[in-house]
Structure 1
Amino acid sequence: MYLKNLHLLQFRNYQDQWVEFGAPKTILVGNNAQGKSNLLEAVELLSTLKSHRVTRDRDLVKEGAEWGRIVATLERQTGEIDLSLTLRRNGRRTVTRGSEALHRQIDFLGTINTVQFSSLDLDLVRGGPEHRRSWLDTLVIQLEPFYAHILQQYHQILRQRNALLKKIREQGTVNDTSISSVSRSELALWDAQLVTAGVRVMRRRSRALQRLTPISYYWHQAISGSTEKLEIKYLPNVPMENDDLELLKQAFLEKIQQRTIPEQHQGTTLVGPHRDEVEFTINQTPAKQYGSQGQQRTLVLSLKLAELKLIEEVIGEPPLLLLDDVLAELDLTRQHQLLETIQARFQTLITTTHLSAFDPVWLNASQILYVEAGHLSVHAW
């Protein structure tokens, strides 16, 4: 797939900016806070309908405006597709694909596939479990867009169940024997729904990691010179001996029953995939606690290269690669590995504050744009 052009209207610090991508590699160069990452964020939104930087649409709309819009033309093997995402400061966003306004945003997912690599991705290793769950869920959505609906359904059920548990706690009925029959019956209904939705989430997370792990291992061996061994383990909150649907449901329900009293005391759900963990180890040592910065960067780079390969295998086309100011953080060996891998195969958008990190041959084959205060111009290096 190839992103042919992008039109930003009242998005972030862009008033009305059109950019046509004339080469497989586009380098956006400029000082900090000029809008380089904002452009990559626009592409990310077209891909995932989410930003890894903010959660509210009002933060994406240019100051003083009521709405913002991202318009793009994408070329895929099936032909050209026109895309549009309208964000509103105080209202619902709208999406269109071709000439069709889509009633469900979920139907927009899977049109553009991207892999993003930014300095924030080091939180995959250093941060809490929520960072790793979010990363894994984003990957699964790229592979199977319907997963976004499954995940949304699970979190809706989780919110409803938590509301009931909070109500039970506030009523002071924290012992199972003192819960009213109405509350007990209602909780049982939410338990069943949580189990059904939660198992769907767990199975898809597990399958995606099973496919990603050997590819990550290959890249990690290549980048580290076979001196380090990477292991990735999915640690579900519910025991997962195998992929059998009924056994998983039974294990899930049994764990809920075991945690009944603590859940009612705390007024929140303690069992389910919202408490899953993904563990990275290097030479059998947890990367989070003991990995050096170099090891952590190698780990994240290996994951990103594996994502590119896996998405390409599943969807049949190479995804776009978004590199947000990461080359400066990689040493020459890791830079070389990354640049050699992507070559002309993956359309790549790169942000940087300077061009000195790039090989001149590589620069000659790239489109270079200068970014200043939300304006793009051709940059002679």
Structure 2
Amino acid sequence: MYLKNIHLYAFRNYREQWVEFSTKKTILLGNNAQGKSNLLEAIELLATLKSHRTNRDHDLILEGSTTGQIIATIERTYGKSDLGITLRSPGRRSLMLNHENLRRHLDFLGHLNAVEFSCLDLDLVRGSPDIRRNWLDTLLVQLEPVYAHILHEYYQVLRQRNALLKAMGKNNHVPEKTPNLSPEISQLKLWDKQLAETGSRVIRRRNRVIERLTPLAQNWHTNISGGTEIIEINYLPNVIVNSDEIIEVQQAFLEKIEQRRIVEQQLGTTVVGPHRDDVEFNINKTPAKSYGSQGQQRTLVLALKLAELQLIEDVIGEPPLLLLDDVLAELDPNRQNQLLEVIKGRFQTLITTTYLHSFDSQWLDAAQIMKVENGKIYSF
């Protein structure tokens, strides 16, 4: 998999920028706030249709413009693809594949795969559960693009169910006195069934990907730490099940909804489902979030990212792109060497940095070095 070129139009601080990638290693050199991370963000959008920095397309468009665009050419073993995203404010984004408009996001996903590693990824360990859920979902979308549709269906049902619970609260329903066959309760039970059906599909896929990722991450972590530490990765589903059978997962889901029904009606929101899942990281049986040092947390995240690269390559049959956003400065020399050694010529890699001293002469000789300054990219 190789990103040949990318064209940015009114994206972030780029008015118009064309970049041709001539080697598998690209170093983006520049001071902070010049646009290095913005270029990686554009590639992330092509891979996942999501940005880890914002949920609003308005934020992605150059100030003063109403439309922004990302266009790229990808080469894979099965041939070449031209990808395009048009962002609008106001309005909905549109997607193109080989110059044809697409109606479904599902048809766009999977043509480019990328793993991004930034200094913000330390929040995977020490941040809130929603950060870990987003990380897990982003990985799943790349492994199985249909998961984006599954997740979208679940959150649609969740929003509808929450709206009904909120309306029931405004109507002063007293759960204990509400007849079981009231129209509101009957409608809620229909949403219960849909929530269990869509939520079970999310739970099963999250559980499976953690099972596949964990041994890979453990192996990388052992190599980086010299075997002095053992990590554990535990999926903590809100609905706990002891089976991967879809019927049994749905049944456990419905039973927990029934147990929490009064609480949900009192709060006016859904408290059961994968929107409340978490992932737990332990180092030597100790929670990494609470007790891990910064060095231990960095090693853990580095092992996770290397495991992501390996898993995507195993599943899709081609190495994904690796996007490193100002992380070398965060890693000590040993971890830097581990990371750069893994990359070699295996992955097309884009690295942002403010200095070149982290790279040895072999790396610099093999890399395409570009200077990024005030929304402009130049050959260095």
Query: TM-score, normalization: structure 2?
Result: 0.99
Equivalent residue number for residue 136 of structure 1: 136
Instruction: Tell me how far apart the structure 1 counterparts of residues 254 and 156 of structure 2 sit (CA, whole Å).
Output: 18
Alignment of 1:132-281 (within 5 A): 132-178=132-178, 181-281=182-282
SS of 1:80 mapped into structure 2: strand
Alpha-carbon deviation of 1:168? 1.1
SS of 1:19 mapped into structure 2: strand
Alpha-carbon deviation of 1:177? 2.9
Alpha-carbon deviation of 1:4? 0.3
Alpha-carbon deviation of 1:176? 3.6
Between 1:292-301 and 1:350-359, the stretch displaced more is 350-359
Instruction: Tell me how far apart the structure 2 counterparts of residues 85 and 217 of structure 1 sit (CA, whole Å).
Output: 37
Unaligned runs of 5+ in 1: none
Unaligned runs of 5+ in 2: none
Instruction: Tell me how far apart the structure 2 counterparts of residues 184 and 178 of structure 1 sit (CA, whole Å).
Output: 8
Equivalent residue number for residue 372 of structure 1: 373
SS of 2:345 mapped into structure 1: coil
Identical pairs, percent: 64
| Residues 103-130 of structure 1: CA deviation (Å, up to 9, x unaligned) | 1123211110000000111110010110
Alpha-carbon deviation of 1:278? 0.5
Equivalent residue number for residue 71 of structure 2: 71
Instruction: Tell me how far apart the structure 1 counterparts of residues 265 and 221 of structure 2 sit (CA, whole Å).
Output: 44
Equivalent residue number for residue 110 of structure 1: 110
Instruction: Tell me how far apart the structure 1 counterparts of residues 116 and 281 of structure 2 sit (CA, whole Å).
Output: 19
Instruction: Tell me how far apart the structure 2 counterparts of residues 304 and 121 of structure 1 sit (CA, whole Å).
Output: 9
| Residues 261-313 of structure 1: CA deviation (Å, up to 9, x unaligned) | 11011000010000111000000000000000000000000000000000000
* Displacement over 2 Å in runs of 4+: none
Q: In the alignment, is residue 54 of structure 1 matched against residue 41 of structure 2?
A: no
Alignment of 1:357-368 (within 5 A): 357-368=358-369
Alpha-carbon deviation of 1:64? 1.1
SS of 1:74 mapped into structure 2: strand
Amino acid at match of 2:131: H
Instruction: Tell me how far apart the structure 1 counterparts of residues 177 and 312 of structure 2 sit (CA, whole Å).
Output: 50
Alpha-carbon deviation of 1:99? 2.6
Whether the 8 Å CA contact 1:94–1:105 is kept in 2: the answer is: no
Q: In the alignment, is residue 27 of structure 1 matched against residue 14 of structure 2?
A: no
Instruction: Tell me how far apart the structure 1 counterparts of residues 38 and 122 of structure 2 sit (CA, whole Å).
Output: 20
Between 1:94-103 and 1:181-190, the stretch displaced more is 94-103
SS of 1:54 mapped into structure 2: coil
Equivalent residue number for residue 306 of structure 1: 307
Amino acid at match of 1:239: I
Instruction: Tell me how far apart the structure 2 counterparts of residues 203 and 220 of structure 1 sit (CA, whole Å).
Output: 26
Instruction: Tell me how far apart the structure 2 counterparts of residues 114 and 68 of structure 1 sit (CA, whole Å).
Output: 21
Instruction: Tell me how far apart the structure 1 counterparts of residues 290 and 115 of structure 2 sit (CA, whole Å).
Output: 26
Alpha-carbon deviation of 1:37? 0.3
| Residues 200-244 of structure 1: CA deviation (Å, up to 9, x unaligned) | 000000011110000000000000000000000011111121201
Alpha-carbon deviation of 1:356? 1.1
Alpha-carbon deviation of 1:247? 1.2
Alignment of 1:31-42 (within 5 A): 31-42=31-42
Instruction: Tell me how far apart the structure 2 counterparts of residues 243 and 143 of structure 1 sit (CA, whole Å).
Output: 19
Instruction: Tell me how far apart the structure 1 counterparts of residues 99 and 357 of structure 2 sit (CA, whole Å).
Output: 43
Instruction: Tell me how far apart the structure 1 counterparts of residues 174 and 271 of structure 2 sit (CA, whole Å).
Output: 15
- Aligned pairs, number: 379
Alpha-carbon deviation of 1:172? 1.4
Amino acid at match of 1:319: P
SS of 1:238 mapped into structure 2: coil
Amino acid at match of 2:379: V
Instruction: Tell me how far apart the structure 1 counterparts of residues 83 and 250 of structure 2 sit (CA, whole Å).
Output: 40
SS of 1:4 mapped into structure 2: strand
Instruction: Tell me how far apart the structure 2 counterparts of residues 311 and 165 of structure 1 sit (CA, whole Å).
Output: 39
SS of 1:15 mapped into structure 2: strand
| Residues 289-340 of structure 1: CA deviation (Å, up to 9, x unaligned) | 0000000000000000000000000000000000000010000110111111
SS of 1:84 mapped into structure 2: strand
Equivalent residue number for residue 341 of structure 2: 340
